[in-house]
Structure 1
Amino acid sequence: MEEIRGVGRGSYIWGRSVHNIRIERLWVDVTAGFGNKWKELFRLLEALHGLDVDNDAHIWLLQHLFLVAINADASNWAATWNQHAVSRRGERHMSPMQMYIHGLAEHGQRGIFPEHLDTMPGSSPAVNYADYGIDWDALDRPVIRTHHDQHNPHDGTNPFLIDNPSGLSHVEVPDPRCPFSPEQVALLDTHLRHLPCFGRENMQACAELWVAALQIARNIV
């Protein structure tokens, strides 16, 4: 973003994690809506059913079995969430989709060059970056605040301190390689389709599918 927009243009914000409170609020809803059931399933598989999270082959099998279902859950949840009414203090309640369309109608299409940041040289940007992105009403909600504090234990409490990092965080997410040939994957899928638990969406059936798939995978030569 700095390469495109230039340095000092508010391309991103660092500082206290209260700037992330909007996404923290959304993560609470995502977790309650569908994320927690998958998290608990994977914990169960690791604790009782042989899942080794440090084994790339196990991670591949996990994705092969459940990634499509997880993505479907995420898409269905997002579609529902985008249509639900959001309470707005002193304003008419709208769904996220209605707010998006209303914003387009009022402000036009916006991209990485927002007009309100195109200020004259030497002048201050129109946006107050110190408060930008902070949803103070959400921060006052106990559930949101608890989630925020649990995931930001080292945030600090002094709002006057600025701790600009020397670099941005980087998380390397390896792409687990398939341990099988295409023919072996087809054989695995053929065995899976004949299982009573195949295609069922409850978490008990998913656990049974993992146990069976792991055994089948171990026997493929």
Structure 2
Amino acid sequence: MERLLIQHCGVDHCAYLRGRSLHNVRIERLWRDVRKDSLESYRQIFTYLGNTGLLDMENEIHRSCLFLVFQPRIQASLDRTRDAWNHHKVRTARNKTPIAMFELSRETAIRRGYWTGDMGDDLNTAADPLYGYDGEAPLPPITEQHGEPEIVSQEPVGIDAEREADICVNDDDELRGVQELMPDFDFGRNDENWGIDVYCEAVLLLKSRM
């Protein structure tokens, strides 16, 4: 990865960090905050719905309504957490915010002539299962290969494989069909109950229209 980044960005870009894992503390703290501030409430909601019999992930109606009601809410929560993180002051960076650190480093790179303007690949490109794999790339030196375990992905690929692995997901056709059956239903309405009431109403209405 180090060699790839140097080849892509140049030596002066400093696009990577080499060091012990203690340098991961900041990002590990971020993951903790994301779960605590954005995801934990919804985990508890889904657990509650499952325990009370209001949610059965084998049920297509339940799955579709769950996604349409809660996906926008979860995304909005993640957006708020992102904005809070990007604007919080980092003590070890002289109280600069992450946005300020990025802009300052970008300006420095532009001034020194190694800013490429390349912000990375788009989402569709990066979603390719073989993204980042180069079958013709030379292997690293044998000293760097020693002791490194071969990592074989166990993640199912495709909706059918995910369902076979008991990972229940919605496909686009299911969601599109639900939206066509409920064109006037406001999935994003604020029910002052974390979306639970909206979800239950959506399930009952969809059952009546199928």
Q: TM-score range by the shorter chain?
A: 0.5 to 0.7
CA shift for structure 1 position 96: 0.5
CA shift for structure 1 position 67: 1.3
Given residue 78 of structure 1, which amino acid in structure 2 is its aligned partner?
A: R
Q: Match of 1:176?
A: 170
Q: Does 1:61 align with 2:51?
A: no
* In structure 1, distance between residues paired with 2:27 and 2:35: 12
Given residue 72 of structure 2, which amino acid in structure 1 is its aligned partner?
A: V
Give yes or no for contact 2:88–2:98 (8 Å, CA) kept in 1.
Answer: yes
Could you say if the C-alpha distance between residues 23 and 60 of structure 1 is closer, same or farther in structure 2, counting changes exceeding 3 Å?
A: farther
Could you say if the C-alpha distance between residues 34 and 57 of structure 1 is closer, same or farther in structure 2, counting changes exceeding 3 Å?
A: same
Q: Which has the higher helix share?
A: 2
Question: What pairs up with 1:54-203 in 2 under 5 angstroms?
Answer: 54-88=58-92, 91-108=93-110, 109=115, 164-172=148-156, 174=159, 176-177=170-171, 178-179=173-174, 182=177, 185-190=179-184, 192-193=185-186, 199-200=189-190, 202=192
Q: How many percent identity over aligned positions?
A: 23
* In structure 1, distance between residues paired with 2:31 and 2:51: 25
Could you say if the C-alpha distance between residues 24 and 189 of structure 1 is closer, same or farther in structure 2, counting changes exceeding 3 Å?
A: farther
* In structure 2, distance between residues paired with 1:112 and 1:198: 32
Could you say if the C-alpha distance between residues 12 and 44 of structure 1 is closer, same or farther in structure 2, counting changes exceeding 3 Å?
A: farther
CA shift for structure 1 position 38: 1.4
RMSD of aligned residue pairs (Cα, Å): 4.0
* In structure 2, distance between residues paired with 1:179 and 1:170: 26
Among 184, 195, 198, which residue is 1:209 paired with? 198
Given residue 81 of structure 2, which amino acid in structure 1 is its aligned partner?
A: W
Could you say if the C-alpha distance between residues 198 and 5 of structure 1 is closer, same or farther in structure 2, counting changes exceeding 3 Å?
A: closer
TM-score, length-scaled by structure 1: 0.56
1:43-83 residue CA offsets vs partner (Å, 9 max, x unmatched): 11111142123445533321111212221221222122211
Among 209, 216, 220, which residue is 2:209 paired with? 220
TM-score, length-scaled by structure 2: 0.58
Give yes or no for contact 2:72–2:188 (8 Å, CA) kept in 1.
Answer: no
Q: Which runs of 5+ in 2 are unaligned?
A: 7-14, 121-140, 160-168
* In structure 2, distance between residues paired with 1:205 and 1:112: 36
Given residue 171 of structure 1, which amino acid in structure 2 is its aligned partner?
A: E
